[in-house]
């Protein structure tokens, strides 16, 4: 009987897969892209452009994109992604990431309240001051208006 109870309460714990820096960046970009429940081709293009520019995975961008898309739909929270970035990224890299998030949000021409909220939450989890969050938004907005 003791053996039966032991088996009943035995918890199988799978080792957690380590998220790479590139996967974390891709996941956060996709979180913003999917925040408004509408995926626009320009947003997808902007995500892939940022991944090409910020990672060394030139040939594997489509694979990274698809894996991140699946990972985001299974994710419980943003912390698992921001934790990886906080462990690896400099302040400058975090600022560039937040700018990249804003570029994705602005890609379809409309920044949805959900996208804004998601970027705000990500920047908080990256321990960025609110002023940096605002400066990143204004900088990207100026880029877009100059085009």
Alpha carbon distance 12, 89 (integer Å): 33
List per-residue pLDDT tens for the chain, 147 residues long. Answer: 555 545 555 544 444 578 889 999 999 999 999 998 888 899 999 999 999 888 777 778 888 888 888 777 777 789 999 999 999 999 999 999 999 999 999 999 989 999 999 999 999 999 999 999 999 999 999 999 998
- What is the pLDDT at residue 69? 81
66-69 contacts, C-beta under 8 A, 24 or more apart: 67/23, 67/26, 68/23, 68/26, 68/27, 68/29, 68/30, 69/30
The answer to whether position 11 is within a domain reads no
Q: How many folded domains does the chain comprise? A: 1
Range of the domain at 126: 18-146
The answer to whether position 8 is within a domain reads no
Q: b vs e for 37-57, b when ≥16 Cβ sit within 10 Å of the residue's Cβ?
A: eeeeeebbebbbebbeebbeb
The answer to whether position 41 is within a domain reads yes
DSSP summary character for residue 79? H
What CATH code is carried by the domain that includes residue 53? 1.10.3680.10
pTM: 0.83
């Amino acid at each position: 009987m003791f053996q039966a109870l032991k088996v009943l309460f035995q918890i199988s714990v799978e080792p957690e897969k380590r998220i790479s820096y590139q996967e974390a960046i891709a996941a956060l970009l996709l979180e913003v892209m999917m925040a408004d429940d509408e995926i626009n081709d320009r947003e997808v293009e902007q995500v892939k452009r940022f991944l090409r520019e910020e990672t060394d995975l030139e040939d594997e961008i489509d694979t990274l994109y698809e894996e991140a898309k699946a990972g985001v739909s299974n994710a419980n929270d943003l912390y698992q992604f921001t934790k990886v970035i906080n462990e690896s990224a400099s302040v400058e890299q975090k600022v560039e990431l937040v700018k990249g998030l804003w570029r994705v949000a602005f890609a379809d021409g409309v920044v949805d309240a959900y996208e804004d909220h998601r970027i705000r939450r990500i920047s908080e989890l990256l321990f960025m001051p609110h002023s940096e969050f605002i400066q990143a938004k204004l900088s990207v907005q100026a880029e877009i208006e100059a085009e």
